[in-house]
A = this chain, B = another copy of it.
Amino acid sequence: MRVWITGANGFIGRHLVRELAGAGHAVHGIGHGALDQTEACRLGLRSWINGEIDAANLNALASAHGLPSKVFHLAGGSSVGLSIERPFEDFSRTVASSARLLEWLRTSAAECELIAASSAAVYGADHPGPIPESAAPAPMSPYGQHKLMMEQLCRSYACSLGLRCAVVRLFSVYGPNLRKQLLWDICSRLRAEPGSLDLGGTGAEVRDWTDVRDVARLLASVAELSSPASFRIINGGSGRGASVADIANGLIRHWGGNTVVCYSGVGRPGDPVSLVADDVSLRRMKFDWRIPLDQGLGDYVAWFKGHARG
């Protein structure tokens, strides 16, 4: 199968390229990042366009390699904090690029299915338990709002304009090569000062942590599963929550040593107290999460110690 991945050079994108290329698919990528031919090839990409997701670049890709059967849309903003600091940039990366992609698919590749990566940030706060896909969205940040708008574009192009789209709302994805967010911050501080660890928030914030290698397999599975529905929304979470304190303690255990953890007690704006998936859809798909949290944390620490430079 010929597949395209937008944002193929990102954290999840690179793992998805590996997954799909490993399964024998011809994988082409588009997005930002200077990859030379050797590096793209090493990642598993047949070709790579470093540029905007726009009609010119999509036409160029199609002319050179043929139309795709599936497009995985991973390009977009990736930081709640940056979306508050530079909201228009986040809008452009998440919403405007999706509009151009959907329009190009409608006019040039209407048979191709789109699998779009969205985020649990669309749900917002006030969900003490597992969140079903049917929950009313109430994003707390421009990041979440823009992801919701991206979903709505997908819905509109599917329901009114004949495309087929599956939206996967990813929860807290972590794993090897992630050089930001909680696990990265903790490991960086453990390396700098192993004796004590000061963290924001209360430590009780609960997230649905999923290893990026499982997530790549999940996205591939969603694409493989044929569905009669022209539009689907699927929670891409495990249904199990773990607190920031659980993560910190797990990383410290794998790191080795006796680090003392302190929490500021002050939350970050746009940061809900709990985000855990209701995983009914994935259980119905019979998707199996293979990497338990403790193994994932161990792998992350091993990767960090072996590869990461602060």
Q: Show the binding face of A for B, using Cβ within 8 Å.
A: 84, 87-88, 91-92, 95-96, 99-100, 103, 106, 136, 139-142, 145-146, 148-149, 152-153, 155-157, 160-161, 269-270
Copies of this chain: 2
The CA of A153 and the CA of B96, in the complex, are separated in Å by 13
Q: Are A84 and B161 in contact (CB under 8 A)?
A: yes
Q: Are A91 and B153 in contact (CB under 8 A)?
A: yes
**Most-contacted residue by chain B among A136, A141, A160, A270 (CB, 10 A):** A160
Q: Are B136 and A156 in contact (CB under 8 A)?
A: no
Q: Are B95 and A99 in contact (CB under 8 A)?
A: yes
14 new A-B contacts, CB < 8 A, other than A84-B161, A87-B156, A141-B160, are A87-B103, A87-B157, A88-B99, A88-B100, A88-B103, A91-B103, A92-B99, A95-B149, A96-B99, A139-B156, A142-B157, A148-B152, A149-B149, A149-B152
| Chain B residue at minimum C-beta to C-beta distance from A87 | B161
User: Which of B84, B99, B145, B157 is A153 in contact with, Cβ under 8 Å?
Assistant: B145
| Chain B residue at minimum C-beta to C-beta distance from A100 | B88
Residues of B within 8 A of A99 (CB): 88, 91-92, 95-96
The CA of A146 and the CA of B102, in the complex, are separated in Å by 14
Q: Is the contact region of chain A dominated by helix, strand, or loop, or is it mixed?
A: helix
Residues of B within 8 A of A161 (CB): 84, 87, 142
The CA of A43 and the CA of B269, in the complex, are separated in Å by 45
The CA of A36 and the CA of B198, in the complex, are separated in Å by 64
The CA of A96 and the CA of B92, in the complex, are separated in Å by 9
Give the distance to chain B from A83, nearest Cβ to Cβ, in Å: 8
Q: Are A84 and B160 in contact (CB under 8 A)?
A: yes
The CA of A309 and the CA of B212, in the complex, are separated in Å by 63
Residues of B within 8 A of A140 (CB): 160
**Most-contacted residue by chain B among A92, A139, A149, A155 (CB, 10 A):** A149
Enumerate the 5 nearest inter-chain pairs by beta-carbon distance, A residue then B residue, closest first: A88-B103, A145-B156, A149-B149, A91-B99, A142-B156
Give the distance to chain B from A121, nearest Cβ to Cβ, in Å: 12
| Chain B residue at minimum C-beta to C-beta distance from A106 | B87
The CA of A160 and the CA of B87, in the complex, are separated in Å by 10
Residues of B within 8 A of A152 (CB): 145, 148-149
Give the distance to chain B from A122, nearest Cβ to Cβ, in Å: 11
Residues of B within 8 A of A96 (CB): 96, 99
Residues of B within 8 A of A139 (CB): 156
Residues of B within 8 A of A95 (CB): 95, 99, 149
Q: Are A160 and B136 in contact (CB under 8 A)?
A: no
| Chain B residue at minimum C-beta to C-beta distance from A141 | B160
